[in-house]
Amino acid sequence: MPSTAPFILGEHRRTLDDRFRLSIPSELIDPIVEEKKDCILAKERPGALSLWKASDYQGKLDREVGAIEALLQADRLKDRTDVVQKFGRLLSTRHKPVQIAGRGRISIPEGFREFLGVDAGGEVLIVGAAICVEIWRPESWFTYLEGSIPEFQQTVSELLDKS
């Protein structure tokens, strides 16, 4: 679990400029920026990108890759080549370091623009997702909310039951 605390919360509407740059509000960007001002941009759900504190994302990535490597070394995936290749393909294109420029501005790289599905000059919603920041295409965000809000109390209960 990432070490980010306190929770990153909030929802803000922004516009991508003509060079696919985006200003992230300081209250959302400050908790995920480290000394080098690098963050990790990740493709995690259609119509949305996640912006992670680099060390948190790297820790998550190291655990996942380490588990797969251990299974490979133990020869437990010998009949699962297709799944291992799928993992490798998605891992190769799923995340990218991005530099946080002045005023909390990031540039959305090629390949991530298409996944987000918002043209230059288009609006996005920037949402605090407790442990990272998410950038959503508005239509995808509203669809996500429609399906998730009715389950909110159940989600809270599930999280509290784990403690």
Q: Which amino acid is at 104?
A: G
The total number of structural domains that make up the chain? 1
Residue 5 lies in a domain: no
Residue 84 lies in a domain: yes
> What is the b/e burial string over 113-128, where b = at least 16 CB atoms within 10 angstroms of the residue's CB?
bebbebeeeeebbbbb
- Cut 0.75: pTM above it: yes
Q: Which tokens in the block code for residue 75?
A: 């020869």
Secondary structure letter of residue 8 according to DSSP: B
Q: What pLDDT sits at residue 141?
A: 97
Cα gap 150→112, rounded to integer Å: 30
Q: Which amino acid is at 137?
A: R
Q: Which residue range forms the structural domain that includes residue 22?
A: 11-161
- Phi–psi pair at 75, nearest 5 degrees: 60, 30
Residues forming a β-bridge with 136: 48, 125
Give the pLDDT means over successive 10-residue stretches in the chain (163 positions): 72 97 94 87 96 94 90 89 88 91 93 96 97 97 92 84 73
With tokens 């599930």, the residue in question is 158
Residue 4 lies in a domain: no
Q: What pLDDT sits at residue 2?
A: 54
Residue 1 lies in a domain: no
Q: What pLDDT sits at residue 4?
A: 43
Residue 118 lies in a domain: yes
Residue 2 lies in a domain: no
Residue 40 lies in a domain: yes
Question: Residue 120 is part of a domain; what is its CATH number?
Answer: 3.40.1550.20
Residue 92 lies in a domain: yes
